[in-house]
Structure 1
Amino acid sequence: MTEITPIPLAQLTTLRTGAAPERMLDATTTPDLVDALRDTWARGDEWFVLGGGSNLFAGDESFYGTVIRVLTSGVERLPSPHEGRVRVRAQAGHDWDALVAYTVEQGLAGIEAMSGIPGTVGAAPVQNVGAYGQEIQSTLVEVELIDESTGEVSTVPASELGLGFRTSVLKHHYGGVPLRRAVILSVTLDLAEVGDAGRIVRGDQLRRALGLAGDAAEGAVPLGWVREQILRIRAEKGMLLNPEDPDTWSAGSFFQNAIVPESVALQLPPECPRWPVAPDLDAVTVIPLGAYDGYIAPTQTVRSDVKVSAGWLIEHAGISKGFRLPRSRAGVSTKHALALTNRGGATADELAELARFIQARVQAEFGLLLQPEPVLIDVEL
């Protein structure tokens, strides 16, 4: 590890806010990262790790503690116990989109719809990143991590991470602390080996985004084509980082799409986009012949939760693309209502004021309180 002169977080985060912290360490290898974390924990410092800075909203005051920059990188291809599949292990500091590009080039399917998502590999499982119906939990096998409580390094299966919609046991939720305080060192994915043949796109959300009509069985499409289309869509929405475009000076989607019971979703306008988030429980019941007594229990109706579009709620609460509060340098993206942007020199207070205003308007109109998606450091909404 290397202790460096602290750099203002405004220079290291895509929202461009935050002063220089008290202390900053760089870790370029996994042993460096382990040493930096153990040293910081032994000192009793407040701390957080910083990857790509694309999911962090830092306050205007200096963070009184240690910031550890995760600069590790590297990808290795491993055998999978499943036929027709390959495992890929990537270091926590590796650029996420670079990993997606690598898998597409190698003909490995499973994360291509998540092209263009900024940030690092280690951050991806923490909030179970996803896009267009594809989430990392669908391919995640395990992570290597180090726990703050013990300082020990271990390999943890995905099943123990509590993965849900944009969440895990490792995530700092607004107003709370993670259930498990630990830092990911590497991530292992299990991907389908499809080569140049591509794969059939089955998810309705992804098919709509790609403009694929009709039955999913019509044929496979190349992974490279899927990636190109997703990158084009994200660019049109201002969701690809561009130093010349203030619409991209954001943390991506600032608010999470709301997850509500089906009964609540039914009270929203029918035109509000929504997607079920629970699996279809159309399971086959198998009763051994020797145990069959002529009675089959009636099927119970299970109502699923529903994901509703936060962007739609914002726009229909009267917040248009490009909206700004008077005399504020923070504004809603001109391309995407879900992105709060720094239009140049905005303070964290200005962005927080805009976020609170949007929350209040949506809650007044629809009765739902939108929750922030970025990790908030010394900022309150």
Structure 2
Amino acid sequence: MLDSSPASPARPTFADITTIGVGGSIAAFACPKDRVGLIEAVEGADAQGQPLCVIGGGSNLLVSDDPFPGLVVRDARHEMYVLDEAAPVEGQDRSVHVGATAGTNWDDLVDYCVRMGLAGIEGLSGIPGTVGASVVQNIGAYGQEVAQSVQSVEVWDRERKTTQELSAQDLAFGYRSSALKSSMYEAPGQPAESFFPTPRFVVLSVTFALRHSRASRVDFDQLARALGVEVGDQMPTEQIRQAVLSIRAQKGMLEDPYRYLNPWMRGSRQRDNAQAAIDSLQAAVDQAGGVDSPQGQDLIANRHSCGSFFMNPVISEEQAVSLPAEAPRFPVISAGQQADPARVKTSAAWLIDHAGFHKSFALPKAQAGLSTVHTLALTNRGSASSQELADLAFAIRSGVEAAFGLSLIPEPVLVGLQLDR
């Protein structure tokens, strides 16, 4: 596990522990290695009135370059365990429950489940972050959402100062939202005064309901095309996982695995998985002409991001009608529910591109820019400041609003930064 006192500066900066690689110094940093230590760290900060930031993999944070005056806590527990029979009993229920501590690397869990012959989260392969963050954000991709597989979540309630077991229903999952995330905001994108940038409910562990199967249904057209099958076909979960990783790599939507060589990140992902990701990226860079080639540099720089920076707008039917005919429109479905006929989801990437912000767009003299392969990712091209990234996000959001009348909501948590001017 990560040593909280490596042979490096006494504390990391946010630039050291976030995927986008920006952010200022940290007054206090803790990496508790057990459940009691995690609760004590959170409760201690709250009792002293300290600003508190509980961080996972740092993939959903954009933090100011100013010093952070409080405590940053990262759960150093990386435990995964099958709670039922490891193999299905012939003719009986094929469901199985898997538990994981909040600090477990998300893709480590996906890899573990696929290797164990458990299906249900393979479409979420390659998403950066931790198990705890996955349920706060209700991560989703390629026809799956984490909400579809969550059985329960154990949390520490910062208000009542007690642990609770929350069911999937209690969590009120929606598109990139949950009751946990909602406790941080007065309204979408507007931080609450009481609990920000850490939710009222701090995740301790998650129990997932999966199924014994080495095959799974393909429910997303892009994934189906990559696999050469039809939507609805069954495919081996390992092949689905590899196809998802390949698609994400082509979009620049994987994290930079070299970050796990950083002393402050070392040990936060399983060594074999981190090395495999490094080898895969290095092979791609070599094929592109090496690290000194423009293409090789782009392959690495595109990964210095928060992933998708803006959420896809969920709008009314009336708003959807006002968009150009060619604008994408998708049904709004979450956690296996029926589509909501009164709401439509459109593509933030399409809106950004058609508002004039194309791949590689950057403001003058700035080290922040859009990815060279995806308009939805804001990237640190080398030595960007957090303000440069905030300025870029503001320019894009203002341009989309001027062009289409829709206000994009950031997906990452913004700490010490504002897009409203």
Calculate the TM-score normalised by the size of structure 1: 0.88
Please tell me whether residue 161 in structure 1 is matched to residue 168 in structure 2: no
Name the counterpart of 1:126.
Answer: 136
Take 1:267 and 1:109, find their aligned partners in 2: how far apart are those partners? Answer: 40
Q: How many residue pairs were aligned?
A: 357
Q: For residues 97-144 of structure 1, what are the alpha-carbon distances to aligned partners after superposition, in whole Å with 9 as ceiling and x for unaligned?
A: 010011111111111110000000000010100012210110101001
Rate the CA distance shift 1:206–1:181 in 2: closer, same or farther, 3 A: farther
Question: Contact (CA 8 Å) 2:24, 2:64: kept in 1 or not?
Answer: yes
Name the counterpart of 2:317.
Answer: 262
Residue 272 (structure 1) shift:
1.9
* Counterparts of residues 47-196 of structure 1 (less than 5 Å): 47-79=52-84, 83-171=93-181, 172-173=184-185, 174-177=189-192, 181-195=200-214
Take 1:226 and 1:60, find their aligned partners in 2: how far apart are those partners? Answer: 39
Question: Contact (CA 8 Å) 1:146, 1:185: kept in 2 or not?
Answer: yes
Question: Contact (CA 8 Å) 2:97, 2:210: kept in 1 or not?
Answer: yes
Please tell me whether residue 323 in structure 1 is matched to residue 338 in structure 2: no
Residue 281 (structure 1) shift:
5.4
For 1:199, the aligned partner's letter is S
Question: Contact (CA 8 Å) 2:216, 2:234: kept in 1 or not?
Answer: yes
Q: For residues 260-307 of structure 1, what are the alpha-carbon distances to aligned partners after superposition, in whole Å with 9 as ceiling and x for unaligned?
A: 11221222223222210147859xxxxxxxxxxxxxxxxxxx723111
Take 1:152 and 1:281, find their aligned partners in 2: how far apart are those partners? Answer: 35
Name the counterpart of 1:16.
Answer: 21
For 1:248, the aligned partner's letter is R
Take 1:358 and 1:7, find their aligned partners in 2: how far apart are those partners? Answer: 31
Which of 340, 347, 358 is the equivalent residue of 1:309?
347
Question: Contact (CA 8 Å) 1:144, 1:156: kept in 2 or not?
Answer: yes
Question: Contact (CA 8 Å) 1:133, 1:206: kept in 2 or not?
Answer: no
Residue 204 (structure 1) shift:
4.0
For 1:374, the aligned partner's letter is P
Name the counterpart of 2:47.
Answer: 42
Question: Contact (CA 8 Å) 1:2, 1:25: kept in 2 or not?
Answer: no
Take 1:167 and 1:72, find their aligned partners in 2: how far apart are those partners? Answer: 24
Which of 215, 220, 238 is the equivalent residue of 2:234?
220
User: Which ranges in structure 1 are unaligned for 5 or more consecutive residues?
Assistant: 283-301
Rate the CA distance shift 1:308–1:212 in 2: closer, same or farther, 3 A: farther
For 1:259, the aligned partner's letter is V
Name the counterpart of 1:367.
Answer: 405
Take 1:156 and 1:347, find their aligned partners in 2: how far apart are those partners? Answer: 38
Question: Contact (CA 8 Å) 1:51, 1:71: kept in 2 or not?
Answer: no
Take 1:212 and 1:361, find their aligned partners in 2: how far apart are those partners? Answer: 38
Of residues 327-336 and 30-39 in structure 1, the stretch that sits farther from structure 2 once superposed is: 30-39
Question: Contact (CA 8 Å) 1:237, 1:335: kept in 2 or not?
Answer: yes
Question: Contact (CA 8 Å) 1:277, 1:304: kept in 2 or not?
Answer: no
Residue 50 (structure 1) shift:
1.2
Calculate the TM-score normalised by the size of structure 2: 0.80
Name the counterpart of 2:392.
Answer: 354
Alignment partner of 1:233: what SS?
helix
Rg (Cα) greater in structure = 1
Rate the CA distance shift 1:280–1:184 in 2: closer, same or farther, 3 A: closer
Please tell me whether residue 32 in structure 1 is matched to residue 37 in structure 2: yes
Residue 19 (structure 1) shift:
1.1
Rate the CA distance shift 1:335–1:206 in 2: closer, same or farther, 3 A: closer
Residue 6 (structure 1) shift:
2.3
Name the counterpart of 2:417.
Answer: 379
Residue 85 (structure 1) shift:
0.7
Q: For residues 66-94 of structure 1, what are the alpha-carbon distances to aligned partners after superposition, in whole Å with 9 as ceiling and x for unaligned?
A: 11122111101012899111100000000
User: Which ranges in structure 2 are unaligned for 5 or more consecutive residues?
Assistant: 259-296
Please tell me whether residue 199 in structure 1 is matched to residue 216 in structure 2: yes
Q: For residues 216-235 of structure 1, what are the alpha-carbon distances to aligned partners after superposition, in whole Å with 9 as ceiling and x for unaligned?
A: 2xx52100000000000000
Take 2:59 and 2:230, find their aligned partners in 1: how far apart are those partners? Answer: 36
Take 1:2 and 1:281, find their aligned partners in 2: how far apart are those partners? Answer: 46
Question: Contact (CA 8 Å) 1:96, 1:118: kept in 2 or not?
Answer: yes
For 1:313, the aligned partner's letter is L
Which of 241, 244, 265 is the equivalent residue of 1:230?
244
Residue 57 (structure 1) shift:
0.4
Rate the CA distance shift 1:133–1:265 in 2: closer, same or farther, 3 A: farther
Name the counterpart of 1:241.
Answer: 255
Of residues 79-88 and 28-37 in structure 1, the stretch that sits farther from structure 2 once superposed is: 79-88
For 1:160, the aligned partner's letter is D
Take 2:216 and 2:120, find their aligned partners in 1: how far apart are those partners? Answer: 10
Take 1:248 and 1:89, find their aligned partners in 2: how far apart are those partners? Answer: 29
Which of 334, 340, 343 is the equivalent residue of 2:372?
334
Name the counterpart of 1:345.
Answer: 383
Of residues 346-355 and 169-178 in structure 1, the stretch that sits farther from structure 2 once superposed is: 169-178
Question: Contact (CA 8 Å) 1:51, 1:93: kept in 2 or not?
Answer: yes
Take 1:168 and 1:277, find their aligned partners in 2: how far apart are those partners? Answer: 15
Of residues 270-279 and 318-327 in structure 1, the stretch that sits farther from structure 2 once superposed is: 270-279
Alignment partner of 1:159: what SS?
coil
- The percent of aligned pairs where both chains have the same amino acid is 41
Give me the CA root mean square deviation: 2.3
